[in-house]
Structure 1
């Protein structure tokens, strides 16, 4: 007669691993079941798969899946995370008890975790649990809103000029703009600007808006398509050229190209403290999905 499951096997649990392929084998169905709220985890794991595990830094990435009670490690996945040191932990939306359980487990593994980025309620639950477990202070940073494209509605009139896909000849400019974008929003870049540029150029993932004389005036990046969806990121216009519609025109161009290429969903994040960008994206057809919050931990 088979033995009864041990009581510990019935509790929901986190399984941690440094094996990307193993993580994806367990988490892929869960992540693909709701691509929009999982967009950050999908794009980060896709970049790790294509560009290598050290693309975001020298530290070994850590991955985790949360299984329902009695389901076993590989079944009934209800949550996931990706951590690419030295950056914040990226969490899927979780039940509060799952966030608390992860905080307890990670406190023994990585007590100096720098922060977390997650859907607003999940981020709050994890941050409070992390404070309790480690004595750290959690400070809310950027509040973001995730948008999904509905009906693309280009502004009229469009600014003079045209869109074109960036090439290797633009590498120096794109790397500089990527660095300037991070400085403008007060965020450390997740990747070295040159590495980021190379990763996007490899699949035509940056579109420039040029003025009629051929001068680049704005850029809009887009992630590689995964689970049918892409995410527009970043959109950047140099300070001296803002207010002329160039960023919006680049966003429209890259959004239309993604749809034409077969994307089922086109997403983007905005900073909720920036009413200009939130208003622009809604005018061209983006609709709110849910809010996210980034927390930083100090010890």
Structure 2
């Protein structure tokens, strides 16, 4: 396999025309690529930053076998690769002189790419996060259900959403892929966040949902302020959002968890989510100048 078997572009429409069918062939494993490209398509190419995104696809024998995208300054996101494909991709990106601050993908793919990146650049990868992808099986509402009710967030909740999104990003120790206000506005526009609120109407937790793409959605983010945790609010919000998604006719419901958080992993399995695959995020340092 050669590095030039990988083709790259800044043209989102061209990329989706070429690789969209491949991405939709496994909407679970390709969920992030599907939702990010949909956000870029509907919200503009600067939805995640000022620098133009880069997209790429691997075509062999007339068929797309893999794809990647990067929305600078964030990590490279890659569909599952063999070690040979990962090596060719690393060489391809080096030839482009494209910086790669990190990578996130299925665990075996990130391990193969990190090893290839080190061979080609000398850059060492360190694991920054381990995640597990879940798919809904049969929904089970966790008992007992806390007092209160579910409510879809609206324009009047914008300030709350902006604040909680910032707190959520800080709590997971990551960088926000979108500016908080832009994220809140986009979610309000399609009813993409549900609160679990107390009997007095005070929001206690939130659970978001991505737009429908390729017949699937992903529950994200789920957040409860620290002083309100351990009372079942996040589980109630997640179950409410999941129930609403199912009522709309969508059957492919996904979510990611941080494997360092056993509480959330246990909660989602009690609700009815079942493991699909494990993902790993690497950050790179020490690469020779490209």
Question: Quick check: TM above 0.5?
Answer: yes
Give the SS at the match of 1:64: strand
**Matches of 2:4 and 2:251, distance apart in 1:** 33
**Matches of 1:294 and 1:108, distance apart in 2:** 23
* Higher RCO, Cα 8 Å, sep 6+: 2
Match of 1:181 among 162, 165, 168: 168
Match of 1:3 in 2: none
The Cα offsets for residues 86-141 of structure 1, whole Å up to 9 and x where unpaired, read as 00011001111111111001013244311000000001111111111111111111
1:42 aligns with 2:34: yes
8 Å CA contact 1:111–1:134 kept in 2: the answer is no
Match of 2:5 in 1: 13
**Matches of 1:226 and 1:57, distance apart in 2:** 22
Of the two, which has the highest radius of gyration? 1
Match of 2:267 in 1: 280
8 Å CA contact 1:43–1:226 kept in 2: the answer is yes
TM-score by length of 2: 0.96
1:134 aligns with 2:121: yes
Q: RMSD of aligned C-alpha atoms?
A: 1.3
8 Å CA contact 2:3–2:92 kept in 1: the answer is no
8 Å CA contact 2:58–2:65 kept in 1: the answer is yes
Q: How many residues align?
A: 286
**Matches of 1:25 and 1:112, distance apart in 2:** 26
8 Å CA contact 2:3–2:88 kept in 1: the answer is no
Match of 1:161 among 148, 152, 156: 148
Residue ranges of structure 2 left out of the alignment (5+ in a row):
none
Structure 2 CA distance for partners of 1:67 and 1:249, relative to 1, 3 Å:
same
TM-score by length of 1: 0.93
Match of 1:77 in 2: 64
8 Å CA contact 1:12–1:67 kept in 2: the answer is no
Give the SS at the match of 1:174: helix
Match of 2:87 in 1: 100
Structure 2 CA distance for partners of 1:55 and 1:11, relative to 1, 3 Å:
closer
The Cα offsets for residues 209-232 of structure 1, whole Å up to 9 and x where unpaired, read as 100110000000100000100000
**Matches of 1:104 and 1:132, distance apart in 2:** 9
